[in-house]
């Protein structure tokens, strides 16, 4: 049956290209939108994931960074650093503002960190140095490329000029980027002595959730969360705000893709009406007819999936270079979800015309 389904599928090159091509485009639409949504979420939490912190300590009630303001005291940081299992506590200052490049304005997280501390600075430096001096800054390579900037150029933050001495990687997303300056420069510009967040590193084998719970219980003025919990809260805020449009696009793409798949497979089977009539005429049972149709559908979707995944991999490499801050991240649960939905719709769409043919007398099929 599989061989017969394959011969039936490739009998006409034009129909083969149209059938498999339609399935490929439908899968590409659904998977690309899903990959864009996942990639956007990954990019928006990149600093948290890359920070190296096992536990993040913020002002009481603050559980994320995006669109949030947090202020804790140095005493709060010291209390957190004395918790059992903590081996380092690094302060950072944080705000969201516009970076003026001379060629345009770029919305950015501004992170003030201490270069002598273990945590807080970028983990992926493409070029330059993280040993910042006064009025020096690090920007992401995607911003540098889009704004035609390089090492030694200047940007303006809070009305002050900073010299670019390093380029980070992977910290630009569809909403903003991340810019790093010295903690001292940030504190001087802001004019107070508070800390935004404390990034804690814990001993190997110690549960970060237990450390976070102990810190929160010991100090009512702070909220401590493990990196995983903090990133999850950040993702949820982003889903509730910035990425809602992408969710709508993703759902619309899924529905359109399923409709295209159903129509493509329906017409593909219907175009073989005469061939299925011949099968009935030579004694094929209805179950054999249905088996061939299902096999042909699975072959079409398998080829379409292979082509779609290849195209998405190529897009994932090319797109960040063409559109800085846009990333595709394809995860197998999404592929499986889309594939199962398409299999269900595809098989139903293919069996409907097969059922119609199965009810007809072969002579009537030949007349049609």
pLDDT at residue 341, as a whole number: 77
The answer to whether the beta carbons of residues 67 and 44 sit under 8 Å apart is: no
Contact call for residues 296 and 2 (beta carbons, < 8 A): no
Distance CA 299, CA 297 (A): 5
Contact 140, 171 (CB under 8 A): yes
- Asked whether the beta carbons of 139 and 149 are under 8 A apart, the reply is yes
Residues of the chain with pLDDT under 70: 1-16, 18-19, 40, 238-247, 249-251, 253-254, 257-258, 261-262, 265-266, 268-284, 286, 288, 320, 322-326, 353-354, 356-368
What is the structure's pLDDT at 128? 92
β-bridge mates for residue 166, sequence order: 128, 138
pLDDT > 70 fraction of the chain, expressed in percent and rounded: 77
- Report pLDDT for 206: 93
What is residue 137's predicted lDDT score, i.e. its pLDDT?
Answer: 96
- Which of 122, 112, 119 has the alpha carbon at shortest distance from 182? 112
Q: Give bridge partners of residue 98 from the DSSP assignment.
A: 107
Note the helical H segments in the chain.
2-10, 13-44, 46-50, 74-81, 141-146, 183-190, 208-218, 227-240, 244-270, 273-281, 286-322, 332-359, 362-367
pLDDT at res. 53: 93
**Residue 282, CB-side half-sphere exposure with 13 Å CA sphere:** 7
Residue linked to tokens 């049972």: 285
What is the 8-class DSSP label of residue 215?
A: H
What's the distance, Cα to Cα, between the start and end of the chain in Å?
A: 25
Q: Which of 225, 241, 282 is nearest to 61 (CA)?
A: 225
What is the pLDDT, as a whole number, of residue 250?
Answer: 63
Looking at residue 131, its pLDDT comes to: 93
pLDDT score, position 72: 94
Q: Which residues does 326 contact at the CB level (< 8 Å), separation at least 6?
A: 36, 39, 40, 174, 319, 320
Q: 101 vs 138, 155, 162, 173, CA distance in Å?
A: 13, 5, 10, 18
Task: Count CB atoms within 10 A of the CB of residue 284.
Answer: 18
Are the C-beta atoms of residues 192 and 148 closer than 8 Å to each other?
no
pLDDT of residue 65: 87
CA angle 130, 134, 138 (to 5 degrees): 35
What are φ and ψ of residue 289, in 5° steps?
Answer: -60, -45
Among the listed residues 366, 354, 159, 178, the one whose alpha carbon sits nearest the alpha carbon of residue 278: 366
pLDDT of residue 36: 74
């Amino acid at each position: 049956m599989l061989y017969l389904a394959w011969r039936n599928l490739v009998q006409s090159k034009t129909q083969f290209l149209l059938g498999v091509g339609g399935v490929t485009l439908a899968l590409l639409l659904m998977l690309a939108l899903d990959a864009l949504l996942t990639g956007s979420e990954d990019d928006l939490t990149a600093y948290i994931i890359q920070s190296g912190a096992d536990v993040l300590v913020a002002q009481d009630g603050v559980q994320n960074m995006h669109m949030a303001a947090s202020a804790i005291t140095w005493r709060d940081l010291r209390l957190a650093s004395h918790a059992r299992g903590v081996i380092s506590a690094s302060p950072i200052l944080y705000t969201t503002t516009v970076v003026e490049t001379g060629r345009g304005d770029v919305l950015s997280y501004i992170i003030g960190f201490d270069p002598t501390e273990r945590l807080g600075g970028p983990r992926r430096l493409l070029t330059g140095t993280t040993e910042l001096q006064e009025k020096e800054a690090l920007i992401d390579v995607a911003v540098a490329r889009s704004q035609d900037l390089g090492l030694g150029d200047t940007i303006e933050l809070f009305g002050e000029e900073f010299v670019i001495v390093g380029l980070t990687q992977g910290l630009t997303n569809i909403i903003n980027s991340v810019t790093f300056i010295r903690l001292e420069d940030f504190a001087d510009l802001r004019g107070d002595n508070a800390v935004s967040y404390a990034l804690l590193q814990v001993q190997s084998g110690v549960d970060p959730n237990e450390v976070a719970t102990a810190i929160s219980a010991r100090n009512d003025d702070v909220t401590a969360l493990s990196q995983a919990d903090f990133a999850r809260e950040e993702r949820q805020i982003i889903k509730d705000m910035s990425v809602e449009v992408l969710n709508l696009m993703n759902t619309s793409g899924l529905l359109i893709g399923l409709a295209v798949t159903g129509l493509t497979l329906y017409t593909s089977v219907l175009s073989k009406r005469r061939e299925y009539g011949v099968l009935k005429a030579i004694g094929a049972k209805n179950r054999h007819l249905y088996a061939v149709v299902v096999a042909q559908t699975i072959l079409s979707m398998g080829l379409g999936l292979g082509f779609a995944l290849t195209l998405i991999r190529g897009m994932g490499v090319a797109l960040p270079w063409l559109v800085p801050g846009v990333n595709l991240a394809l995860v197998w649960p999404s592929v499986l979800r889309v594939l199962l939905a398409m299999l269900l719709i595809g098989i139903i769409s293919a069996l409907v015309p097969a059922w119609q043919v199965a009810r007809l007398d072969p002579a009537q099929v030949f007349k049609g």
